Amino acid sequence: MKTVLAIDVAKGKSMVSLITDCGEVLIKPYEINHSKNDFDKLNHKISNFNLDNISVIMESTGIYHRPIERYFLEKNYNVYTINALYSKMYKRNLRKTKTDKLDCISLSELFFTTDFRKYVKPNKLYSNMNALSRQYFALSEVNSNLKNRYKNLIHLCFPEYELLFKNKAIYSDIALNFISKYPHAEIISNTQIDCLQNFFKKEKYRHWKLKPMKIKEYAKQSYPSVSKNDEFVSNLSVISKLIFNNEKEIENLRNKLINYAKQSNYFNKINSIFGLGSFTTALIIAELGDINRFNNIKELTAYCGLDPSIKQSGKSMNIHGPISKSGNKYMRKILFVSILNIIRLSSLCHIENDIEIYYRKKRNEGKHHYAATIACTTKLLRQIFALCK
């Protein structure tokens, strides 16, 4: 006799029910908190029935299902974590009734009528890499917003900084440290040239004598939008420090990811693809994990959300629709940027590359740049899958 513990997960609490394949409800649906005490009480109730072959089914709900998933895995239960979209389709009913108790029943019915793949605990290496990868993307997004704010504040406090530190130099360590210390033109005008020169000398700047003189000259001519006592000035100083610290943390994450990735058997294989550097390879491994868990390329393509959406109505059928975008958005971003890099390097180095040839072929067929690039991402994914398998 098969028995399943159906769990409808919510934030900090869950509705649980123990049901057999005959439809007998051994434990009526009731609510538990995500605490060790409640988990132990539930486990004790289940053990009183002396049943074999007990499984646990729950929806994957972001991070909220993680505590209960961890507990039952450690207690050696067969755990099935399913996509919430899949169970949502099964829960539909004519009356449009939805309660946590009914969700438990629906999950148990779904378990007994469908074959699911048992949850396989990920390797610690890939788990740690994924955590670092998500932290990298989160900090990169924050840094992007900070840099936009930083540029706006520079225009208000000392617009000439963009002429003194051109292009990406405005985000360099020396520029960030200098601007955090001297965020306004008037502050520089009132500072002796020796102090400015000493700053650049300590930073081991090549033109430590000439650069401060140029800055001083621009500062005297500048007329900023705000006075030196305005709060915008202190904001610029704070933002400069935040970007500096963020950049250091991002660099630390990059190095950690690469060191972890080199421990994986897939690193050298993926890194051998033209245009993929060590960090890009590390991000790919972090997001895909153990590639052997995918049985075929279709599963991997669907995981990345690159599978085409299919629409049929009567005799009309479109099998070449837009990509579903229902998978891993970080992996799509990595692949997209990688393709742009491969195409750029192939053109610069005049090296014939199958990705670049495929891109040109799609463009000659009249495809838009983005459509051709997306087509290349699936080709790159097939290459990665073939090398690793």
Question: Domain with 60 in it: what CATH number?
Answer: 3.30.420.40
Is residue 297 within 8 A of residue 381, CB to CB? The reply is: yes
Q: Note whether residue 33 is domain-resident.
A: yes
Residue with tokens 């003194």: 164
Q: Report the chain's C-alpha Rg in angstroms.
A: 28
Domain count, the chain: 3
Q: Which domain holds residue 201?
A: 128-254
Q: Note whether residue 121 is domain-resident.
A: no
- β-partners of residue 8 are 15
C-alpha–C-alpha distance, residues 89 and 296, integer Å: 25
Q: What type of residue sits at position 207? A: H
Strand runs labelled E in 206-322: 311-313, 316-318
C-alpha–C-alpha distance, residues 91 and 103, integer Å: 7
- pLDDT, tens digit (0-9, with 9 covering 90-100), for 122-160: 688 999 999 999 999 999 999 999 999 999 999 999 999
Q: Note whether residue 118 is domain-resident.
A: no
Q: Note whether residue 224 is domain-resident.
A: yes
Of 254, 288, 319, the one marking the end of a domain is: 254
Report CA-CA distances (Å) from 340 to 42, 115, 267.
Answer: 52, 40, 21
Is residue 16 within 8 A of residue 38, CB to CB? The reply is: no
Strand runs labelled E in the chain: 3-9, 13-20, 25-33, 54-60, 78-83, 311-313, 316-318
Kindly state whether residues 304 and 357 are assigned to the same domain: yes
| pLDDT on residue 191 | 92
C-alpha–C-alpha distance, residues 57 and 349, integer Å: 53
pTM of the model: 0.85
- β-partners of residue 17 are 6
| pLDDT on residue 349 | 86
Kindly state whether residues 223 and 306 are assigned to the same domain: no
Q: What type of residue sits at position 174? A: I
Of 220, 254, 288, the one marking the end of a domain is: 254
C-alpha–C-alpha distance, residues 351 and 187, integer Å: 52
Kindly state whether residues 249 and 132 are assigned to the same domain: yes
Phi/psi for 209 (5° steps) reads: -90, -45
Kindly state whether residues 275 and 375 are assigned to the same domain: yes
Kindly state whether residues 196 and 295 are assigned to the same domain: no
Q: What type of residue sits at position 114? A: T
| pLDDT on residue 120 | 64
C-alpha–C-alpha distance, residues 74 and 339, integer Å: 41
| pLDDT on residue 94 | 46
| pLDDT on residue 52 | 80
Kindly state whether residues 93 and 143 are assigned to the same domain: no
Of 113, 136, 156, the one marking the end of a domain is: 113
How many CA within 13 A on the CB side of residue 319? 1
Q: Note whether residue 306 is domain-resident.
A: yes
C-alpha–C-alpha distance, residues 238 and 245, integer Å: 11
Q: Note whether residue 123 is domain-resident.
A: no
Kindly state whether residues 279 and 378 are assigned to the same domain: yes
C-alpha–C-alpha distance, residues 66 and 127, integer Å: 13
Is residue 70 within 8 A of residue 50, CB to CB? The reply is: no
Phi/psi for 242 (5° steps) reads: -65, -45
Sheet holding 25-33, edge to edge: 25-33, 13-20, 3-9, 54-60, 78-83
Kindly state whether residues 309 and 355 are assigned to the same domain: yes
Kindly state whether residues 59 and 100 are assigned to the same domain: yes
Question: Domain with 170 in it: what CATH number?
Answer: 1.10.287.4070
Kindly state whether residues 188 and 80 are assigned to the same domain: no
C-alpha–C-alpha distance, residues 165 and 172, integer Å: 9
Kindly state whether residues 52 and 95 are assigned to the same domain: yes
Is residue 161 within 8 A of residue 179, CB to CB? The reply is: yes
CA 279 and chain centroid, separation: 14
Q: Note whether residue 19 is domain-resident.
A: yes
Kindly state whether residues 87 and 199 are assigned to the same domain: no
Residue spans of the chain under pLDDT 50 = 94
Q: Which of 251, 262, 240, 245 is nearest to 180 (CA)?
A: 240
Q: Note whether residue 260 is domain-resident.
A: no
